[in-house]
Each structure stands twice: as structure tokens, then as C-alpha cells.
Structure 1
């Protein structure tokens, strides 16, 4: 069996249903594995899970929407790396060969175009890559001093809102401050609230408003 690759935004994608059939795996089990990979990837703010796996839906024979994933070349490499034995080797050989064939085909298609059109396509691809890198950088920018001040004030406000329900002594208040800062760092995977990503700023404010100590 061959992978039915589709072209989207200048890259080729494989369907998780085809991958499951090729490696002799139940599609439900493969999507479950992929979701596990995505969870690990998303724990690292420097990585984008859609560089590997893009969630999508399809219509079943019963005309119901069902989940599947469009898998990039990097995603196929990740899937292949988790496999052992003959099926893993055959899948690796198949996806490498087909991705390379499609990329060569795309290059050949470009060669038939005028130099002006080829240049336009290259410029669009560079712009798309630039926009993607810029978006990733923007998502990982840290909050500015004004936003840090907002977070700090909201943490203080939350502690004083709830301290009478726990221990409003000086020592109890210190424990609440230590607890909310510790839980904040764990919740947003940062060494300090000052290192919070701008992308998480609104979520952090909501989190603070609903925080309660775990002790």
C-alpha cells in the first residue's frame, strides 16, 4: 500500500488512516499514540505539535464526523521511530520514498513555469516560512513589565481574598503566597511569573482568580 499524500501550504501530508493500515495498526490505537506524542510535544513551549500532527476530521460511512490526523514528514519520522521490526522498516522506507517522490514532482512542476512565476513561488514560500517562525517567536515572548505587575497584583489580591478562610496570621499568609507562586510555576511550566508567555497571560489571570491552596 502507498500513502496518499496531499499537498497543503507547500508541504505534503499523510493521512493517519493510511498510516494505520500500512503498519497494520488499529486507527483508534494510532490516534491515541499520536495524542500522547502531542501531549509531550506541547509540554515544551519551543515546539509546535502541528509541525508533526495536524488534527482533522472526516465523514464515516454513517455520515458522522470522526477524528484523524494529517501527518507531516517529521510526524512520520516520529511514528516510525516508535516502531520495531519489519513493519517499522517497511513504513520508514515507504514514507521516505514517497515524500521524496512528491517533493521531486513538485520541483519538476516548478521547472515548467516561467522564471518569474518560479521566483514568485519561492518568495511566497519564504514569506510563509518567515511568518511561521515569527508566529512561533511571538507565542514564546515573555510578558512585559506592565503585565508582570498585573500578575503580581492579582496574586496578592487573591491571597488576601481567601486568607480568612485558611489562616490569616502572618505565617499563614506567607504560606499562601508561597503556595500560589509554587502552583503557578507548575501550572505554566515557568521558573517565575515574570517568565510567563504572552500567549498564556489571559489564562494566567483566570487561573489566579480561581486558585485555592492544595494544603
Structure 2
């Protein structure tokens, strides 16, 4: 972020209407003045020099390089705002005013750009946080749905127990596996038993029977009896076989 708060010495040469080599020379002269300064800031409390406040050249001018049209490296400086102010002291009159206006406007633009980036970053963070919270809510919802499904649907053991009762009912209705009515009516009896259960609970499949009503389903299954029509058909089948 620090480099974005500087101006290229090549841009300064355009602002002041001087050759870049001349600007580089001016900056090196200013650096020489800064490094040879004998006066240090004074600690006003103890009235002693304060070495920790010595002048730092990079606060004004940062040495750097760039590639020219021949793809060769050339020297340049990245100049901070205070560096521009210091460089401006070398110019007086209209040229100095124009330079001050130019670099102040340039730094204002950079500051606005940095603020805009910060605003966009903040907005992105807010959006990302909202997205993460939304995903967390979806994950929690999936967990809740899964838990609810486990609470609502019959367990595998409950389904088997109910199915065993239905098959036992069907087997009893047709008179056992060795009965002549077993083959033609066993599956019909099972279907009729399941149909009565599903109609009672108003579900498309017995697997949708609420777990909390399992005991009710068991009682209903255990009290099932074949319809009058099915009983009559089974009876006729058995009588015909006896006549053969």
C-alpha cells in the first residue's frame, strides 16, 4: 500500500517540465542535503538530541528502477508527499505553484482510490460473511431436516416388524404355504392388507407412516382380516380343488 502513496519521478518531470535526468539529479542533491544534515530533532523534555527521530530518506525518496523501451533497467525514484513538498522548495513563482497543485491533486486522487478500494473490500467482507452465514444456516437446516426425517419415518426394524405381520396375515388368510389358495391369493392378500394400512394413515407408502404412530400401525395390522370378497374367492378356490 506504501508504493501506491508515491509519485514516479518520471511523472514529476512531466509536472515541472524538466528532463527526467534533471529531476533525478535534483532528488539526489536533496538526498545529499538530508544525509548531511547535522541538526537532529531535540527532546524538549530532557533538552537532549533524540536519535530515534533522525531523518529517514525513504520517508521522502525511495530508490527504484523501471524498464525502458529497450527493455533495459533505468533508475527512478518513488517520491512521497513530503518528498514532493521538499522538491517543491526548489521552485518558486508560478512553476512552484503549478507543481504544488499537480502533486496535491495526484495524491488526493490516490487517497480517494485507496478509500474506494477499502470500501469495496469492506463490502466484499460483508457479502462473504453473509454468504458464510447463509451456508451455515443451510447446513443446519439440512441437519434439522435429517433429524426430523429420522423422527418422522419408521426405522428399519419397525418396517420389518410391520411387514412381517402383513405377510403373516396374508399367509393365514390363504391357509398356509401348502394351501391351494396360496399361489393365486397370497400376494393379493398382502396388497389388500397394505392398502388398508395406507388408506388409514393417508400415505402413498407404508414407509411414510410417522414413527410416533408405529404402535397404532402395529395394532391396525394385527387386527386386519381379509375382505369378504377375498374370503369368498379363497373359499371357492379351495372347494374347486377338493372336487378335483
TM-score (norm 2): 0.41
